Amino acid sequence: MFGLDRLRALAAVAAHGSIAQAAPALHMTPSGVSQQLAKLEREAGHALLEPHGRTVRLTHAGRVLAGHADRLLAQLSVAQSDLADLGHEVLGPLRIGGVGSAVRTLLPDALAGLTADHPRLTPTVVDGETVDLLPRLLHGELDLLLIESWADRPVPAPAGVTLRTLVREDVRVALSERHPLGDRGTVDLADLAGTPWACCPPGTAPHEALVQALRSRGVEPDIRYLLAEHTTQLALVARNLAAALVPAMSGRPAPPGVRFLATRPALRREIRAAWLTRAESPPVRACVAAVEAHREAAGEARPEREGG
């Protein structure tokens, strides 16, 4: 392992041409520089200097190692600069996780603007369900989440996590226009007894919200199709194979033949940003602000007041 101070001494001798001229640049005595280089030679296992008249010059091995030292010290300087900028600059990696509808609707334009304004930012995105994404945030694998929380099945706020509500939207029942109730404007969930359902898998927020909403109206849900994506669920709805609960953001685009009916009781969903409070950073703040700005431009349903 080469010590940085010794590599710095070698790079200075290469740049200035002699130990005597390198010493002032390093704020060292010539003797101190010679000692550093002697230690570096022992670490390298090669002679790095050779006599040259009344002074010394780098050997071939010395020139090779000096080139590496230059590149290493330059990269170290960039790292130090980046760390100094972290308190106020939007740079570095930003690991985002989100539910599919939020990723599809809110993130693309927000990230396009964000990376154009901050070219040193490197975002990555994975999609998934809230139940799977939250543990990854808590374990430090992700920096920012866009998760869903259904009004009748709200996501509890884990300790140490900041939540901010970005969008509040209605949830409607998607029915085929050929369904006996497909021509209604509003449907009581109790009237859908016996209707098969398409829904996200068990354990997810949409699945639990559907089960709870139907049981609250005395209906035992007949869930025949377990599908992660609302777009796939809607393909089955269009063929009159099932009904589905679909938030407004997830219903675009809908295949032909699908009707969206208001529910009785009314159902709502929120999209929330979530991040570790202790790990809040300029990239996290900038991304949340970009999503909020895009939400306004896209006309998404903004919250009446910010969530906690």
pLDDT of residue 85 exceeding 60: no
Separation between Cα atoms, residue 137 and residue 32, nearest integer Å: 49
Position 305 pLDDT exceeds 60: no
The CA-to-CA distance between both ends of the chain, in Å, stands at 49
pLDDT digits (tens, 9 = 90+) for 154-212: 888 788 899 999 999 999 999 999 999 999 999 999 999 999 999 999 999 999 999 99
What is the mean pLDDT of the segment spanning 65-78? Answer: 81
Computed from CA positions of residues 135, 267, 203, 110, in that sequence, does the dihedral angle turn out positive or negative?
A: negative
According to DSSP, the residues that pair with 165 across neighbouring strands are: 272
141 DSSP assignment: S
Helix, strand, coil tally for the chain in percent (to 5): 45, 25, 30
Provide mean pLDDT across the span 275-298: 87
CB under 8 Å to 277, separation ≥6 — which residues? Answer: 160, 161, 162
* Cα–Cα distances in angstroms (integers) from residue 46 to residues 37, 164, 274, in the given order: 11, 59, 54
Give the pLDDT confidence of 4-43 residue by residue, as tens digits.
Answer: 888 888 888 888 788 888 888 777 888 888 888 888 888 8
pLDDT digits (tens, 9 = 90+) for 108-152: 999 999 999 999 999 999 999 998 999 999 988 999 999 999 987
Please check whether residue 199 is in contact with residue 226, taking contact to mean a CB–CB distance below 8 angstroms. yes
Q: In 3D, which of 94, 96, 37 has the Cα closest to residue 61?
A: 37
Tokens standing for residue 105: 């609707």
Residue 26 backbone phi and psi in degrees, to 5: -95, 0
Domain annotation for the chain: domains and CATH numbers: 4-83 (1.10.10.10), 86-308 (3.40.190.290)
pLDDT of residue 301: 56
Average pLDDT over residues 291-305: 66
pLDDT at residue 215 in the model = 94
- Where would I find the H helices in 216-271? 230-238
Residues 6+ apart with CB under 8 A from 148: 99, 101, 102, 130, 155, 205, 206, 247, 269, 270, 271, 272
How much is the average pLDDT of 66-94?
Answer: 74
Instruction: Give the closest residue to 237 by CA, choosing from 258, 211, 256.
Output: 258
Indicate whether 87 pLDDT > 60.
Answer: no
Least confident range of 89-93, 113-117, 120-124, 267-271: 89-93
